[in-house]
Structure 1
């Protein structure tokens, strides 16, 4: 590579072609050039700082002033909505059978929230088949390379105890089935593996196709399993059981909860201007005379889930203001990863935005929050993995909300040691903090967004759902003034701040828990 670079730079002949090659190589093979990308020309660099896409609105937003009445309305908790939680009770229609039909194994891929939903479905399938469930196996995520197990993430003792009256669950297979492992099923076609479970399969499908295997072999392994159980035409007790798993049986391991509690406390009780960072956190836990005082002064905070990684940006096929080099890099990524199968790439950026199919950039979600009335004193917790474009991409959001925090700014390296480099545990901390926030908002639809909307709906907590189509159209209108933009945003989100919506056919009970998971007041 060094020899090739020297030959290109030393050649005066065909200079234009050589320069073009130098610029294109890092876009085609970014992994080779990332370590020394700072040495590349910046004019067409993927790593060049993106310019604000909505500079007129941003300038006005930075000078915004919001009324006290507007602030009070924003932070007002949701009123009761004539539905209450009730899935925590054991409401299954039949007693737990003493005679199990056999053992069910499931292998779950995806990220934390997709696996969470798969666990709930696995419990339901085991109940349908009157089988004993083995604590689900979590596949290594191919994107994040995280090998965390169920027991690394979730409190298995709580899981087993909560469901003990509903279903038989064991931590490991009996010795006689020692051979039934992920490696065993990866090497050949096996009679005990179910590989053909359709997406959103019915209860009858499992009774007809999986129960015979249990009766013949005493065990059945289902892989893949994600989204393999229907949301409709299910017995009420099966639906309620899925809800009970999701909202009550699945809690994180103690060290995740402890770190989450610490972050929530630091968001609610930030250090005063004359105190060293961290001082009041120690007082809160160790000095009773300060504890009462800080409880009285507890602040409110918003959690923003900002999923803006390169994978998502490329798949959306939208323009995010990074210039020609960024467009080329994302197009190349799409071609390599999905080989032209991204349907969005057939449309223009304007078409995608007007249809609400472009994830909000950090700048755009910041403008949305500012238009809704959040001011520069708002404490914002950023729940996110790596942001495509890094700090340069986040800088506009930080200028609007200078009190923005995340795991790294709130916790010490020692506190983060147990979760460092483990995407599922990092996501678990964000999930925990999100569930303890006053308001939650997500910059793009996805598994985290869907899971949080459902969980917070279940507990009647405020969650703002961005009107993606409206925002796409507003951001396309470059002549829009700040007052016009703000008025359109406020009117377009009046009914999108946590109001309970009943689940419709084919919708997920994990996103819309009523009426399946809830009871009328």
Structure 2
């Protein structure tokens, strides 16, 4: 019996045991990680879903593959000075009070970038309460099963040092509070746990509901904590502190930065690799090519995993087998509670609610002016459909690279199988690219758009509604397609957009964390 059959058999036994248990597993995956894994694996791709997919835009694809070479100077030109600069260090900030009100713990779920935003909020809450923050606890992600801790992802000493004048931060609780653990709060109701924090809670909510717990017990554990601090009606110094954490204090561990630097060096100096050279026998090329003129490269964050594809309820050209598999997955994971499923594929696409496939992203980038010599780095955890789905993108950009093609197996060993560290490497490379493009909005997209805005770096944001409507027109010529894409993205290449009420500070750092000069 193979792994797929074993998982399917196990899930069948679970189902016979009662629907209630299945609902509990789906509702509280952290409490039942093993069974959630079985359900997810049983709903994962069968071989029929990984068959070669015919191009959906064959005529455009042929034109894109045959397009002429020659980099577009305007495309690669850095952003001009937009009159904004980072503004996060107030000159006369008040010092930390001598006495702390107690210890704050937070337990963060989600992937790397959701946890990143939670860390920033945790520092802000500690500041609001004049509390000592314990280095945040990162929950095991039920989908990716990554158990990496804060200190395995982020440089904890740098984190504490950068914020030492703003907030007290400790790596571990004192011995008298060592009982306050994730396991302690998972087994019963505890007076020191705060689990009623509303989404986007105000500063006053924490002063009224968490400060009394600190004053009574000396410690408060807040779980769940993701998205538990408002983006509005907070003092300017708190907003700037959140940005200081995000853009200055959160630095990846050295081995992630070293691998990221190696990948960036190889992207900028592509002659490092002899065509016949085996990637598993790489040697350090940094010095041997240091005198070369560094090349430019673009990062594409391709967010096209099975969760995204299924939840979108869109048709991606994989035929009946794919439609059935995605429908079953939707039913198992979300019990059919997917709003998009009541709309037709055409309606969803015209509204920009369908994630772009690798083929569509290749056509979009080609239409924007990236030629077939472009060095393209693919930042993606797992593409739904595998290489069969990616092949059209590779035809358009034959010099496409990723972590596997650029790094040896030895170099990848320390991040292998660890989704958060894999994402950290992609994040690092993305922040060092000349241009960043994301296939569709999400936590990675939002985090990088905000970070690159803060640093005034070029970032192309696809106009999803426009692109969806363009792809519905099957009669467009390549010239017409190029023209429509170009016109629709003139002002979507990193221009400053001021944050509006309720929008995330981490995606729109101006004007809260940037000054107009």
TM-score normalized with structure 2 length: 0.90
Q: Deviations over 1:375-410 (max 9, x none)?
A: 110000000011110000000000000000000000
Q: Deviations over 1:90-119 (max 9, x none)?
A: 557422111000000000000000000000
Unpaired runs of 5+ residues, structure 2, are 6-37
Q: Is 1:462 the counterpart of 2:469 in the alignment?
A: no
**Corresponding position of 1:334:** 330
Mapping for residues 283-298 of structure 1, pairs under 5 Å: 284-286=285-287, 290-291=289-290, 293-294=291-292, 297-298=293-294
**Corresponding position of 2:448:** 452
Distance change >3 Å, CA 399–CA 351, structure 1 → 2: same
Q: Say which SS state the counterpart of residue 133 (structure 2) adopts.
A: strand
Q: CA deviation at 1:303?
A: 0.3
- Given that 1:372 and 1:490 are in contact with CA atoms closer than 8 Å, whether structure 2 keeps it comes out as yes
**Corresponding position of 2:504:** 508
Q: CA deviation at 1:444?
A: 1.1
In 1, the alpha carbon distance for the partners of 2:200 and 2:277 equals 50
- Given that 1:301 and 1:378 are in contact with CA atoms closer than 8 Å, whether structure 2 keeps it comes out as yes
In 1, the alpha carbon distance for the partners of 2:42 and 2:253 equals 38
- Given that 1:92 and 1:238 are in contact with CA atoms closer than 8 Å, whether structure 2 keeps it comes out as no
**Corresponding position of 1:81:** 82
**Corresponding position of 1:354:** 350
Q: Deviations over 1:120-170 (max 9, x none)?
A: 000000000000000000000000000000000000000000000001000
- Given that 2:200 and 2:230 are in contact with CA atoms closer than 8 Å, whether structure 1 keeps it comes out as yes
**Corresponding position of 1:50:** 53
Distance change >3 Å, CA 304–CA 64, structure 1 → 2: same
- Given that 1:269 and 1:281 are in contact with CA atoms closer than 8 Å, whether structure 2 keeps it comes out as no
Q: Say which SS state the counterpart of residue 271 (structure 2) adopts.
A: coil
Q: Is 1:425 the counterpart of 2:414 in the alignment?
A: no
Mapping for residues 341-380 of structure 1, pairs under 5 Å: 341-380=337-376
Distance change >3 Å, CA 342–CA 251, structure 1 → 2: same
- Given that 1:90 and 1:166 are in contact with CA atoms closer than 8 Å, whether structure 2 keeps it comes out as no
Mapping for residues 40-439 of structure 1, pairs under 5 Å: 45-65=48-68, 71-87=72-88, 89=89, 93-271=93-271, 277=277, 284-286=285-287, 290-291=289-290, 293-294=291-292, 297-439=293-435
In 1, the alpha carbon distance for the partners of 2:210 and 2:42 equals 47
Q: Deviations over 1:178-210 (max 9, x none)?
A: 111001111111111111100000000000000
Unpaired runs of 5+ residues, structure 1, are 6-27, 39-44
Distance change >3 Å, CA 265–CA 215, structure 1 → 2: same
- Given that 1:456 and 1:462 are in contact with CA atoms closer than 8 Å, whether structure 2 keeps it comes out as yes
In 1, the alpha carbon distance for the partners of 2:211 and 2:472 equals 54
Q: Say which SS state the counterpart of residue 382 (structure 1) adopts.
A: strand
TM-score normalized with structure 1 length: 0.89
In 1, the alpha carbon distance for the partners of 2:497 and 2:153 equals 30
Distance change >3 Å, CA 84–CA 33, structure 1 → 2: closer
In 1, the alpha carbon distance for the partners of 2:118 and 2:454 equals 19
Question: How many matched pairs?
Answer: 482
Distance change >3 Å, CA 48–CA 239, structure 1 → 2: same
| 2:438 alignment partner, one of 442, 456, 464 | 442
Which of 1 and 2 has greater Rg? 1
Distance change >3 Å, CA 56–CA 183, structure 1 → 2: same
Q: CA deviation at 1:271?
A: 1.4
Q: Deviations over 1:278-299 (max 9, x none)?
A: 9998575445xx52x22xx210
Q: CA deviation at 1:33?
A: 10
The range that moved more, 390-399 or 59-68, is 59-68
In 1, the alpha carbon distance for the partners of 2:450 and 2:110 equals 19
Distance change >3 Å, CA 418–CA 275, structure 1 → 2: same
Distance change >3 Å, CA 148–CA 31, structure 1 → 2: closer
Distance change >3 Å, CA 91–CA 424, structure 1 → 2: farther
In 2, the alpha carbon distance for the partners of 1:92 and 1:133 equals 23
**Corresponding position of 2:494:** 498
**Corresponding position of 1:486:** 482
- Given that 1:103 and 1:131 are in contact with CA atoms closer than 8 Å, whether structure 2 keeps it comes out as yes
Q: Say which SS state the counterpart of residue 271 (structure 1) adopts.
A: helix
**CA RMSD after TM alignment:** 2.2
Q: CA deviation at 1:61?
A: 1.2
Q: Say which SS state the counterpart of residue 46 (structure 1) adopts.
A: helix
Q: Say which SS state the counterpart of residue 220 (structure 1) adopts.
A: strand
